[in-house]
Amino acid sequence: MSIPAAVTRARTQAVPPTPVSLRDVPAASISVAAGQAGVAQLEVATNVGTAARLVRRAADAGAALLVLPELFLTGYHLARISGQPQQHTLRPDDPRLDELAAVCAQTRTSAVVGAPATDPERGTLHISAFVIGPDGRLRGRYDKQHLDAAELTAGFAPGATGCTLTLGGWRLGLGICWDSSFPEHARAAALDGCQAYLVLALFDRGAGVRKRALLCPARAWDNAGYVVAANHCGSTGPYEGCGGSGGWAPDGTLLADAGQDDPGLAVVPLKPAAVAEARRGDLTLDAPSLDARPGPRALVSLD
């Protein structure tokens, strides 16, 4: 896989000093797909093949970008991943990603896929999102910023920066599962000009059902932008994903839902008019009551 030198620099790029207009909207619509499928536990090659097939389905459905769940390429096996990081984590130049990269290039479709990573500079272990462009090149990597106690105990480290993707005039913020439980995380993306928040999730069949039903429309309403969430739909480590990968409009309305399909795909049209309407008149993003400044963010172009 071809790795541009800018990938490493992008992860630490600070927010530009020029303020972003929160009421600007893209000129044209795009579609983003959220995919789900059963995961072969710790079988990266098998899961890459599944991801590649979902990219083809997303492309056939007219999506410019496919989002896949948290730790999709391994499953949620924290102790086994951290116990053998050389075997189970992925590198920027990892040949196991080649099949997925090739399909992205063939279909001219971008993908964001969850996988564990070892930072090549710091040696730290992360729960990450690998961002592959429509040319098949790895464009960047986002590391989950909010880790729970089990993830920290297993030796994973929180990411240092947020991440904004640009695609077709849209700005798209990334979050991984528990990130979405913190309103400040999605708010930071919105304050960086993002009109949509993309979540790589693991919502289980217990409390996760309620989390999905509450958090996704809440983050959309809070920030007058779209939310697209890709969730697991089967066994992954100690959890059973509740499925329901989907998308929510800026007013919190559910637009697409993959239900329990395995594999499943929810294609979400992102429309400029919906964002413009949601951000018309009084807008809390203009003067947030709490300090929710974005902080350092990577800026990754998919154009």
Q: What are the mean pLDDT values of the chain's consecutive 10-residue runs (303 residues total)?
A: 45 48 93 98 98 98 98 98 97 96 98 96 96 98 98 97 97 98 94 96 97 98 97 97 98 98 98 97 76 77 94
pLDDT at site 287 = 74
Count of alpha carbons within 13 angstroms of residue 168, beta-carbon side: 19
Q: How far is CA 173 from CA 57, 137, 167, 169, in A?
A: 23, 20, 11, 13
pLDDT at site 283 = 87
pLDDT at site 17 = 35
pLDDT at site 8 = 39
pLDDT at site 296 = 86
pLDDT at site 4 = 46
Measured N-to-C along each axis, helices 98-107 and 44-60 cross at an angle, to the nearest 10 degrees, of 10
pLDDT at site 141 = 97
Q: How many C-beta atoms surround the C-beta of residue 13 within 10 A?
A: 17
pLDDT at site 284 = 84
The whole-model pTM stands at 0.93
Beta strands in the chain (DSSP E): 30-36, 65-67, 110-118, 125-132, 138-143, 162-167, 170-176, 196-200, 226-230, 235-236, 239-240, 246-248, 254-257, 264-270, 297-301
All structural domains of the chain with their residue ranges: 29-280+292-301
* Cα 6 to Cα 51: distance, rounded to the nearest angstrom: 25
pLDDT at site 281 = 87
Quick one: fold of 29-280+292-301?
Answer: Nitrilase/N-carbamoyl-D-aminoacid amidohydrolase (3.60.110)
